[in-house]
Chains A and B, each alone.
Chain A
Amino acid sequence: MEKIIHPKQLIEWKQKSLSQRLVFKKIIVVSSGTCGQASGSLQIIEALDRELEKRNLKKTIRIEISGCHGFCELEPNIIIYPEGVFYKKLKPKDIPKILDETILKDKIIPSLIYDEPRTGHKVSNQKEIPFYQKQMRLLTEKNFRINPTNIQDYIVLDGYQALAKVLFNMTSKEVIDEVEASGLRGRGGAGFPTGKKWEICRRVSSDVKYIICNADEGDPGAYMDRSLLEGNPHSVIEGMIIGAYAIGASEGYIYVRMEYPLAVRHVTIAVEQAKKVGLLGNSVLGSEFKFDIHVVQGAGAFVSGEETSLMASIEGRRAFPRQRPPFPAQEGLWGKPTNINNVETWANVPLILNKGADWYSQIGTKKSKGTKIFSLVGKINNTGLVEVPLGITLKEIIYDIGGGIKDNKKFKAVQTGGPSGGCIPADMLDLPVDYDTLTKAGSIMGSGGMIVMDEDTCMVDVARYFLNFTQEESCGKCVPCRVGTRQLADILTRITQGNGEEGDIKKLEDLSRTVKAGSLCGFGQTAPNPVLTTIRYFRDEYEAHIKEKSCPALFCKDLIVYYIEPKKCVGCLLCLKKCPVKAISGERKKVHVIDQELCIKCGACLEVCPPKVGAVSKYTGKKRDRILKKSSVERAEK
């Protein structure tokens, strides 16, 4: 490919590519992001390749290897275009049948299409699947059609048209005005208005300015940015070039964690390809604007996602945050004005400039515009990445898109915003999801992690889990965060072990406030959120742990017992055989008994006991005490 020196050539390229593709009768898109590959998409691709070759179909049927399609629950899956047939959870052995039936004869294979878990209703077209139907996929839609290692695919879908428009028809101020008018707010968590941020950086005069794409996504269970970088890296790059033009930056960095090897690979290839065709370099698209991008890999510290420590890391120093002000827009990377945005924010930029701020600002709520990608995980039926307009209620996300709670259990809470976020209880399910409402509820939007919890989840343990994460990931620089989170985690651990003391809740609240008020960076300032929100909404669970030494969710191992109900046990020996520590005694057709002193509470007996028998139960509190007592008496008798 030769260098593009005029924006017209972009259109020519697109048209030429389209005409080349006319020969293909069908396109099979294989979802092959990290989740797809983990579920076996590479074997599917291999099988497709082999079988097409065998049938001599390669000239008319095209395989497209795309990034993640979002429906992680059903990986590996494929979509066959132009019809849009969606096949889920495929095995290599399904491929010959798909080729023979669907590709050659246009017949749907009923066993491979989607069936709704609750109704059993079968849907063959991807667009009609409720999971997708209820979403508003502005950023992620292209993931269905793009091979991220081929820039041509992006060009065909009008890629870099926004850039062409910006470079040749707009001034930097106009670009910023447009972004500001769109109401776009930072998708990294804090939700600062993007246009405003750019304007601050634009106004600082300096010989050198930098922009950074923060792709150091580290929240447990969140992978929105990964899927964008893996599936559509050029949208991020295009956004960055536009941002650089608006701010007056000549160099950009994409800081991506090395734990995302596929994202690193795809974004590196994309940057190389963009350089090759003149979208990056000394003369972007033949204009006078000069811009280059470097990809930097992070070494995997959570705190590197904090902007000042991210910059320290790029500079080759330990990823320590530093006190602001000065803000990065004043003194950022190498001491120069720097604008830093999250992956998803950058990906929104071409969209806004293509379709206009007026169009964009109609989506969302008054103060939160556009769509947001969430990674929906936890005890939910449709695990996956979902893109929804801001202002949608939690209920719609969890029930309409997420398909409700697994195994028809009761919904208890949803944790948003990763370790810095908070837990929102069931009675607030009608809450519209936007920056300000979530903050008011004690949580944050964060980068878009959404962990759904059911009735079996102990909220004290959830707080313990997150605080354990933060105390391990604290950079160690400031005292409140380094020592405070450790003390918080220690107290929470103590409570879940049944050693809670009167006054612990007060202690947790006080210490949380100290950590929030005293910490240096956003990490410490938000780290106690999981503690504070769980205390706020689930105080009774804390009290149960502390006062009654009981875990209402029957989760905390030290506070529960497994018990075989004598009335229900049929003496099948299943649990007895399964028990790893031989804590269960009994004979065939006789009631089995767990020796509580030996039991390690692994739960294997509960799992293995046939549902229709249902003889194994968990107990906590007083009932637990009685069972323990009884068991020790029995043991003594023996």
Chain B
Amino acid sequence: MKIVIDGQEIHCEGEQTILEVAREKSIYIPSLCDHLRLTPFSGCRLCIVEIIGRKGYSPSCSTYVEEGMEVKTKTRGLQKLRREILELILSEHPNACLICSEKDNCDEYKSTIRKVGETTGCVLCPNNGRCELQEVVEALKIDKVRFPSVYRNFEVKKGDPFFDRNYNLCILCSRCVRVCHEVRGASTVSFVFRGSETVVGTILDKTLLDSGCQFCGACVDVCPTGALTERALKYETLPDKETTTICPLCSMGCELEIKLKDGRILSSRPSGTGAVNQGQACVKGRFLIKDLVYSPKRIHKPLIRVNKELEEVGWEEALGFVAQRLKKFKGKDIGLISSPQASCEESFLFRKFAREALKTENIDSPAHFSPLATYMEMARVNGLKPDLNFRIKDISEAKVLFLVGSEIAVSHPMIWLEVLKAVRAGAKLIVASSIESFLNRYSSLYFQIKPGSEFYLFSFLCKAFLEKEQAEDISKSDSFEPFKKSLEKLHSSQVFEFTGVREEDLKDATEFLFREESSIFLFGSGMTQSPFGSQSVSALWNLASLAGARLFPLGLENNLRGEFEIGEKFSRKGLTFDQIIGAASSGEIKALYLAGPVPEFKKAKMEFMVLQDSFRSENIKMADAVLPAATFAETDGTFINNEGRIQKFGRVVKPVGEAKPDWWIISRLAQKLGKKGFDFRTPSGIMEEMKKASPSFLNVSYPEQQKDKAAFIGQEENKEKKFLPLTFGRFLVETSKTYPFLLCVDYNLDFYRNLSLSQEIRGLKILRDSRWIKMNSKDAERLKLKEGETVVVESLSGKINGVVKISGLIPRGMAEASLLWNEEADFSVFNLFSPTPQGVHFSNVLPVKIKRGK
């Protein structure tokens, strides 16, 4: 359609507001409350325009263009009105610097710097220089405020981690309120009171921490003033450089915008153009990156053990030392642990190194315990080739979403945002979990099932569907009859007993699940790591096939998919992750090369251990050589995220100390070992070789038709519908008198390499401590335990310490702990598992007893 703005004829399309069109054409209209990703608010009234033929003024942020509309944005009347409105805003906001006649010189000469304080001017405002209010004042040329100033004198709220809230600087634009509700679904803050007392606040003025805030920082990012400011940035100067990278802290890989000053990271913010995150991030990407890179636990120099002590040496000496020692071991005596957080190039190179330089196949990573591994194992056994690639926006377009065994609001925040979009657009969300989920408030149907009973739930749903419907097209499949027959052995009374779900809820579920609209089932490690995880995956496969749903595992680490693909292609013959750890403890493996996370070894009989990591961990005590690796920010490479999306990331800063990228270390070490074919100078050289070795990396797909934007890893898929017959027994984890609690273990993703984020970064520890033992208040009362107290959790196989956290989400008789690979031994949940875990899961449900610790 055609419209006219200030005499300029403009062609525009579809549903756009006047403001959006004007911005595209670089016509400046001042505005403070409008934001690209939020619904219009029309509260600041600065974006008002005149529309010929309409009475009065219309806010351009919420007025949609119409054919032939004629708009004026800069009449004298408008400018005057805008100035008066802005003066009203300034009457409630410190304004001395904004309207100071010497402000142009102030920065240089500081002639007036002493005249204003934090309550009256900008000089001490943490947002000085990046404030949208300053920009608008500049644009509208305000030189005085005719109204008396009203300082609202609110106490600055400093009781929460990561950011402060100073509502004296708030202009009530509602961006934080809207982003929290509309985009994040948390609805932590809202307007409270009315009239001139209106202010943004939490329920009953509690802290954000107590109001359900996840500290994603979205509110800080949209705040136009200094009302919400990141504490770490408060007294920092303005950045001199900006660059982007990919966040390595979950499997989605958000694009982050890194602000730098003098080659140092100042802060990280979600990038607005990120294909996965579109301006959003989570607490980790938003607030932890800087602290992670500059952690005091970073290893700055190579170390080698000389006379029982670790000594700092140069790279040459260290690599020589390691090469010389490694040469002494036979291939089968060496084990290597890689990391699903390293880049594809490094994963590939590490395997090449193992195979060619060390002659061993004993290389694996914690990817072994991922939902992806369980799923693909099921597929392999049954000869299936499932579709693994999806696009995140498929989720927001789905009509039915079934989520099992994952608290995605914490583990996959970006997927959660898409789920929220879908729910807002009318999709049915069905959630099944043992511990009440945050998502419950958005779900159409919620099953709080007994731990490990997913298998029965899915199978029953299949049975209920088949009893009601004739699935003709499906029944042609050869596998259908055996499957249907196997369901006969499932008795509904069993299902209700084992799952704890009510019959009527199950009825509703069949209604929703089989609507034959685009549905997506997502499952996480909460399901796959249960003792009956393999059966559950098979049952869920059947259910998804019947419902015509797409089924995706929710991987956890950023490059899990890459690590898994490379592992599948290049090393499937040797020991698995758990077997390597077991063998290292028992001495069957004599040399261990750790480039990925493992639980702390209390005692191990191996002869030689190399630790290649960015951070010190307890295992350093056992290491004979320590090779300081660069973090993701200090190197470049490729991740493959949960969608299968290929994500290139570039170097942001120079490595700390003498740390070197993993690929460099391994190449050099291989060369020291006298191997050829390791003279790589950049990760892209490694990628070239990888492409030759594996078709997945060669057959990259570009669903978006923009080659540089969205490339997906190639996959073989086989769309045959196959059903898996099941056997039903009494698959239940049961408590006993000695072990009266059911402990659910949640896979904790709050780590980067050997750094436990919640132990190292205070804000995160307050928000979610990896050492928490969460339990119901009634249970805690019965055991006379208070929040924050130390407890001992004991299973048949071992015991650990933990810290009591009371949570209303935990049902009585249950507790929740999290498994963090590199946790200190005293706290490591790994100790509760039986010493040699078999198969692909570590069994996340355990009968335990809990008692007060010392």
Q: Does B357 contact A (CB under 8 A)?
A: no
Residue of A nearest to B196 (CB): A486
Q: Is the CB of A476 within 8 A of B88?
A: no
- Inter-chain contacts of A323 with B (CB < 8 A): 40, 42, 58-59, 62-63
Q: A303–B198 Cα gap in the complex (Å)?
A: 14
The segment out of A84-92, A204-212, A510-518, A551-559 that lies at the interface is A510-518
Q: Per-residue 0/1 for A448-490: is the Cβ within 8 Å of any B Cβ (1 yes, 0 no)?
A: 0000000000000000000000011111111110111111001
A312 to chain B, nearest CB (A): 12
* Interface pair A487/B147, CB less than 8 Å apart: yes
Report the minimal beta-carbon distance from A489 to chain B, rounded to whole angstroms. Answer: 9
| Chain A count of residues within 8 A CB distance of the other chain | 32
B56 close to chain A: CB less than 8 A: yes
Q: Which B residues have a C-beta under 8 Å from some C-beta of A?
A: 40-45, 48, 56-59, 62-63, 81, 84-85, 88-89, 91-92, 146-148, 150, 171-172, 174, 190-191, 193-198
Give the docked Cα–Cα distance between A57 and B842 (Å). 87
Q: In the complex, are the beta carbons of A483 and B88 less than 8 A apart?
A: yes
Q: Decide yes or no: A482 and B57 within 8 Å by CB, A518-B48, A520-B43 being known contacts.
A: no
User: Which residues from B are CB-within-8-Å of A485?
Assistant: 195-196
Is the CB–CB distance between B42 and A517 below 8 Å? no
Q: What 9 pairs between A and B have smallest CB-CB spacing?
A: A476-B198, A483-B88, A486-B196, A323-B42, A323-B62, A514-B84, A472-B195, A474-B195, A518-B45
B172 and chain A: residue at smallest CB distance: A476
Most chain B CB within 10 A, of A303, A485, A486, is at A486
Are A482 and B172 CB-contacts (below 8 A) given A318-B190, A510-B84, A518-B85? yes
In the complex, which of the residues A472, A477, A486, A490 has the most CB atoms of chain B within 10 Å of its own CB atom? A477
Q: Does A519 contact B (CB under 8 A)?
A: yes
Among B43, B81, B150, B195, which residue has its beta carbon within 8 angstroms of that of A514?
B81
For the complex formed, measure the closest distance between the CB of B42 and the CB atoms of chain A, giving whole angstroms.
4
A473–B194 Cα distance when bound, in Å, is 7
The contact of B146 among A325, A477, A480, A507, by CB within 8 Å, is A507
Nearest-CB residue, chain B, relative to A486: B196
Cβ of A322: which chain B residues have Cβ within 8 Å of it? 42, 62
Chain B residues whose C-beta falls within 8 Å of the C-beta of A301 in the assembled complex: 194
Neighbour of A520 across the interface among B45, B84, B91, B196, CB < 8 A: B45
List A contacts of B193 (CB < 8 A).
Answer: 476
Q: Which of A502-542 contact B (CB under 8 A)?
A: 507, 510-511, 514, 517-520
Known: A323-B59, A483-B89, A514-B85. A478 touches B191 (CB 8 A): no
Option from A325, A482, A511 in Cβ contact (under 8 Å) with B198: A482
Is the CB–CB distance between B43 and A487 below 8 Å?
no
The smallest C-beta distance from B77 to any residue of chain A, in angstroms, reads: 8
Q: Say whether A487 contacts B91, CB under 8 Å.
A: yes
A199 and B58 CA atoms in complex are apart in Å by: 25
**For residue A516, which residue of chain B has the nearest CB?**
B56
Most B CB contacts (10 A, CB to CB) among A475, A478, A507 go to A478
Question: From residue A452, how far is it (CB to closest CB) to chain B in Å?
Answer: 28
Question: Which residues of the other chain, A, contact B172 by a CB distance below 8 angstroms?
Answer: 476-477, 479, 482
Could you list which residues of chain A lie within 8 angstroms of chain B, going by C-beta atoms? 301, 303, 318, 320, 322-323, 325, 471-480, 482-487, 490, 507, 510-511, 514, 517-520
Flag if B85 contacts A479 (CB, 8 Å). Answer: yes
Task: Select A482's contact among B41, B48, B148, B195, beta carbons within 8 Å.
Answer: B195
Nearest CB on B from A335, distance (A): 11
CB distance from B16 to the nearest CB of A (A): 15
Q: How far is the CA of A484 from the CA of B195 in the complex (A)?
A: 11
A507, B147: Cα distance in complex, Å: 10
- Chain B residues contacting A479 (CB-CB under 8 Å) are 43-45, 85, 88-89, 171-172
Complexed CA–CA distance, A476 and B192 (Å): 9
Q: In whole angstroms, how far apart are the Cα atoms of A605 and B62 in the complex? A: 59
Chain A residue nearest to B88 in the complex (CB): A483
| Chain B residues with CB below 8 A from A507, complex form | 146
For the complex formed, measure the closest distance between the CB of B260 and the CB atoms of chain A, giving whole angstroms. Answer: 36
Give the residues in chain B near A520, CB-CB below 8 Å.
Answer: 42-43, 45, 59
Contact A517 B81, beta carbon cutoff 8 Å = yes
Decide yes or no: A471 and B195 within 8 Å by CB, A323-B59, A511-B84 being known contacts. Answer: yes
28 contacts between A and B (CB under 8 A): A301-B194, A318-B190, A322-B42, A323-B40, A323-B58, A323-B62, A472-B195, A473-B195, A475-B195, A478-B42, A478-B44, A478-B45, A479-B43, A479-B89, A479-B172, A482-B172, A483-B89, A483-B91, A483-B92, A485-B195, A487-B91, A510-B84, A514-B84, A514-B85, A514-B88, A519-B45, A520-B43, A520-B45
- Residues in chain A near residue B91, CB distance under 8 A: 483, 487
Contact A318 B191 (CB under 8 A): yes
Enumerate chain A residues within 8 angstroms of B85, measured Cβ to Cβ.
Answer: 479-480, 514, 518
Chain B residues within 8 Å of A487, by CB: 88, 91, 147-148
Given A479-B85, A482-B172, A518-B81, 15 more pairs with CB closer than 8 A: A318-B191, A323-B58, A325-B63, A474-B198, A476-B172, A476-B195, A479-B172, A480-B45, A482-B198, A485-B196, A507-B146, A514-B84, A514-B88, A517-B56, A517-B81
The reply to whether B43 and A478 form a contact with Cβ atoms under 8 Å apart is yes
Nearest Cβ distance between residue A479 and chain B, in whole angstroms? 5
> Which residues of B are found within 8 Å of A472, using beta-carbon distances?
194-196
- How many whole Å from B303's CB to the nearest CB in chain A? 59
Nearest Cβ distance between residue B620 and chain A, in whole angstroms? 54
Cα A230 to Cα B191 in complex, Å, equals 34
For residue B168, give the distance in angstroms from its CB to the closest CB of chain A. Answer: 14
Least CB separation from B46: chain A residue? A479
A561 to chain B, nearest CB (A): 29
Partner of B196, one of A303, A318, A483: A483
Q: Are B194 and A475 in contact (CB under 8 A)?
A: yes
Nearest residue (CB) in A for B64 is: A325
Residues of A within 8 A of B40 (CB): 323
**Counting chain A CB atoms within 10 Å of each CB, which of B40, B92, B193 scores highest?**
B92
Contacts of A483 in B (CB 8 A): 88-89, 91-92, 147, 196
User: What is the CA–CA distance of A367 and B385 in the complex, to the nearest angstrom?
Assistant: 76
- Contact among B57, B92, B147, B198 with A518 in the assembled complex (CB-CB below 8 Å): B57
* Chain B residue contacts of A486, Cβ below 8 A: 150, 195-196
Q: Would B88 and A484 count as touching, CB distance under 8 A?
A: yes
CB-CB < 8 A to A471: which residues of B?
Answer: 195-196
Indicate whether A477 sits within 8 Å of B43 (C-beta atoms), given known contacts A323-B62, A472-B194: yes
Given the complex, which residues of A lie within 8 Å of B195, measured CB to CB? Answer: 471-476, 482, 485-486
Question: How long is the Cα–Cα vector from A318 to B91 in the complex, in angstroms?
Answer: 25
When chains A and B are docked, how far (Å) is the Cα of A480 from the Cα of B42? Answer: 12
B56: A residues at CB distance < 8 A: 517
CB closest residue in chain A, given B78: A517
Q: Which residues of B contact A510 (CB under 8 A)?
A: 84
Q: Chain A's nearest CB lies how many Å from the CB of B261?
A: 35
Q: Are B57 and A476 in contact (CB under 8 A)?
A: no
- B180 to A: closest C-beta gap in Å: 14
Which single residue of chain B is at the shortest CB-CB distance from A478?
B43
- Using Cβ atoms and an 8 Å threshold, which residues of chain A touch B44? 478-479
- Residues from chain A with a CB closer than 8 A to the CB of B92 are 483
Please name all residues of chain A whose beta carbon is closer than 8 Å to the beta carbon of B194 when the two chains form the complex. 301, 303, 472-476
Q: What's the Cα separation between A477 and B190 when bound, in Å?
A: 12
**Which chain A residue lies CB-closest to B80?**
A514
Which partner residue on chain A sits nearest B45 by CB separation?
A518
Measured CA separation A168–B57 after assembly (Å): 46
- A residues near B42, Cβ cutoff 8 Å: 322-323, 478, 520
Q: Give Cα A301 to B198, complex, Å.
A: 13
Bound Cα distance A520, B45 (Å): 8
Smallest Cβ distance from A505 to chain B, in angstroms?
14
Cα distance A43–B172 when bound, in Å?
51
Report Cα–Cα, A430/B174, bound state, in Å.
48
Task: Using CB atoms, name the residue of chain A closest to B57.
Answer: A517
User: In this complex, what residue of A is CB-closest to B32?
Assistant: A479
Closest to B147 in A: A487
Q: Give complex CA distance A476, B190 in Å.
A: 12
What's the least CB distance linking B694 to chain A, in Å? Answer: 50
How many Å from the CB of B250 to the closest CB on chain A?
32
